Amino acid sequence: MFLNTTQEDFIIFALAIGDGVDLSELKAMVINESYIYEVNSFDTLQDFLPTLQNNLCSELPLPQDVEDGVTAPPFHLRGPSLEIFNSTSRV
């Protein structure tokens, strides 16, 4: 199922791990090169997670003003080593 969305509906971040990453491919995916993060290996990723979490959360938009009594539900991103909650929850 595909959602009716536009590119403005998303902020895409890219994480390059290791030496064999094609950065030109990652640059084509993001709208701003500052959204590309690089680490040397999965071993160094753990040390980088606090920085990554802070950067991602600072880029996420704050909830919009209420219109007709409705706001968007909170979102929740989860990964094997990374858990991010929206700004109204926790990081």
Is 37 domain-assigned?
A: yes
Is 22 domain-assigned?
A: yes
Total tally of structural domains belonging to the chain: 1
Is 1 domain-assigned?
A: no
**pLDDT tens digits in sequence order for the chain, 91 residues long:** 445 555 566 778 888 888 888 889 989 888 888 888 898 988 888 888 888 888 877 776 666 665 655 555 555 555 554 444 444 444 4
Is 91 domain-assigned?
A: no
Residue span of the structural domain in which 18 resides? 10-59+71-85
Is 54 domain-assigned?
A: yes
**Minimal CA–CA distance to 56: which of 80, 36, 29, 81?**
36
Structure tokens at 5: 């969305």
